[in-house]
Amino acid sequence: MTNARPAPEGLTFRHPVEDDYPRIQHGLTHWWGGLGGEAGAQQRRLLVPRLFLQHFTGTSWIAEDPDDTDGWLVAFLVGFLSQDHPDEAYIHFVGVDPERKRGGVGAALYERFFAGAREAGRTRVKCITGPANRDSIAYHTRMGFTIEKGDTEVDGVPVKSDYDGEGLPRVCFVRELAP
Ligand SMILES: CC(C)(COP(=O)(O)OP(=O)(O)OC[C@H]1O[C@@H](n2cnc3c(N)ncnc32)[C@H](O)[C@@H]1OP(=O)(O)O)[C@@H](O)C(=O)NCCC(=O)NCCS
């Protein structure tokens, strides 16, 4: 399904380097539509510490527009191959500049991640999102993920309660990777 999608024109894709850290932090601050206010922005920034750009760059991706002069990114994906589950890969965070949303950029990043995971022999990709992030739920569903069984529901969506700590339920996604 997703393989048929044309890549967004004019963008370049590469693995990040440590120097991209401030640009990813900028995305985490500004691209979530103010979700959670300043506390939410701070939480997101802390969820993607520098170590991801020191130890997980080979499986992470960024998209840039060479014609943009502002120096910011168009999008990023931070993901890795599971250390503990040899058949799994995990997408930790993804963000697309709101001005570029719904243009196939998120899908282009995911397809690159899926291809790398397949090449590394992984057959399954997992990720999570908060139940309030309806865009993320719609996007992941469209990208072929299914929602894992939860122990309760939030607004009709199955969630695992207290998944990331007390009062922090999460929607858990899984997608099989066809060879
Ligand atoms: C979620 C996000 C990454 C999607 O990226 P995107 O570049 O807009 O997605 P794409 O244009 O590649 O869309 C891929 C598919 O998902 C669908 N889709 C994307 N966002 C959607 C939405 N809000 N509602 C319904 N469908 C959606 C697209 O229509 C497309 O489907 P298609 O196959 O019919 O064309 C982006 O909206 C984003 O950065 N959101 C803020 C950060 C965030 O929530 N990250 C995820 C949690 S960490």
Task: Enumerate the domain spans of the chain.
Answer: 9-122, 125-179
pLDDT of residue 5: 66
| Residue of 3, 52, 78, 139 to mutate, ligand 1, most atoms within 8 A of C-beta | 139
How many Cα atoms are found within 13 Å in the side-chain-facing hemisphere of 65?
A: 15
Kindly report the pTM of this predicted structure: 0.95
Q: How far is the CA of 120 from the centre of ligand 1 (A)?
A: 26
pLDDT of residue 143: 98
Q: Is the CB of 134 under 6 A from ligand 1?
A: no
What are the residue ranges in the chain where pLDDT is below 50? 1-2
Q: Is the CB of 36 under 6 A from ligand 1?
A: no
Q: Which atom of ligand 1 is nearest to the CA of 1?
A: 33
pLDDT of residue 69: 84
Which of 3.40.50.150, 1.10.390.10, 3.40.630.30, 3.30.930.10 would CATH assign to domain 9-122?
Answer: 3.40.630.30
pLDDT of residue 4: 52
pLDDT of residue 70: 87
pLDDT of residue 2: 45
Q: Which atom of ligand 1 is nearest to the CA of 92?
A: 48
